[in-house]
Amino acid sequence: MQLTLELPEDVLKVLTNRCEDLPRYALEALAADGYRSGVLTESQIRRMLGYESRLQVHSLLKEHGVPYRYAVTDVSDDLDAHRELGILPAR
């Protein structure tokens, strides 16, 4: 899907002075806000922005001051994955 925005000239001038790639800036802001509000998942943001790793998503969230949601089940899943990879000893 392609999205087109109409902005007043003065607003466009201020925004283009702030960032060199305004469409990318807008897309990243939309992604960060979507995650902040719980509408978008980490995986959706990764695909939306063409990122190859979740660390890139984490970096974006940090840049936008968005706290990363990490639940107890995520910790358990990560520990299990580390055990399967041999990073941590088996229980």
Task: Please check the confidence at residue 74 and state whether its pLDDT lies above 80.
Answer: no
The pLDDT score that the predictor gives to residue 6 is 94
Residues sharing a CB contact under 8 Å with residue 34, sequence separation 6 or more, in sequence order:
40, 44, 45
Alpha helices by DSSP H, the chain: 9-18, 22-36, 42-49, 54-63, 72-85
The mean per-residue pLDDT over the stretch 29-40 comes to 95
The mean per-residue pLDDT over the stretch 30-42 comes to 94
Domain ranges of the chain: 9-85
